[in-house]
A = this chain, B = another copy of it.
């Protein structure tokens, strides 16, 4: 069955963005450090060599994206194109004009409805979930199935955490570990 899968790169101390995260400085200071694991041999960002390529391929095989407004806005709504699939933005506010011009971008105000729409759009493919706030809301609502955490060997010290405070303890199951020097890629299943 198709799953909703959170995909996030995280430092060992739990940060997914550096300090001073804002439009114009997406992800904050030092953000790219968390994403070096998918640099190609040429130093560009893209499909990495080695076993982490599986994660890249899985990302590109998802059938819809559910993303937080803050994350999406910082990258101009992906220009309306996130590997060619429908994009659902979790937002309590209506879509700003900049987002309305993209037919592929749909704003939804509650996470259950957003996930239901994303799953319907994805069909038998997985839904890619992105963003710290969205992850927490999806976990709280019980609509997140898996977490793909790409844990980068660095202590950030400051910034924005992937998991700040959750209302309940949530049990996970280790589904897969991909061990590379650039990151420890751990896939967890949420025990519902």
Chain A residues at the B interface, C-beta cutoff of 8 Å: 12-14, 30, 33, 139, 147, 149, 151, 153-158, 161-163, 165-174, 177, 179-181, 184, 186, 188
Contact = CB atoms under 8 A, between A and B. Distances in A.
Contacts of A157: 163, 165-170
Given A155-B166, A163-B13, A169-B155, A177 B174 contact: no
Contacts of A167: 157
A139 B155 contact: yes
9 contacts: A13-B14, A139-B155, A153-B171, A153-B188, A154-B170, A156-B169, A157-B165, A157-B166, A179-B179
Contacts of A186: 151, 184
Nearest to A166: B157
Contacts of A166: 13, 155-158
A173 B155 contact: no
Nearest to A173: B153
B163 A155 contact: yes
A65 B174 CA distance: 31
A10 to B, nearest CB: 9
A150 to B, nearest CB: 12
Given A172-B153, A172-B155, A179 B181 contact: no
A12 B188 contact: yes
A12 B188 CA distance: 10
Given A12-B149, A12-B163, A179-B179, A174 B169 contact: no
Nearest to A172: B153
A139 to B, nearest CB: 7
Given A155-B169, A174-B179, 9 more contacts: A12-B149, A30-B169, A33-B169, A156-B169, A157-B169, A158-B165, A177-B177, A177-B184, A184-B186
A177 B168 CA distance: 28
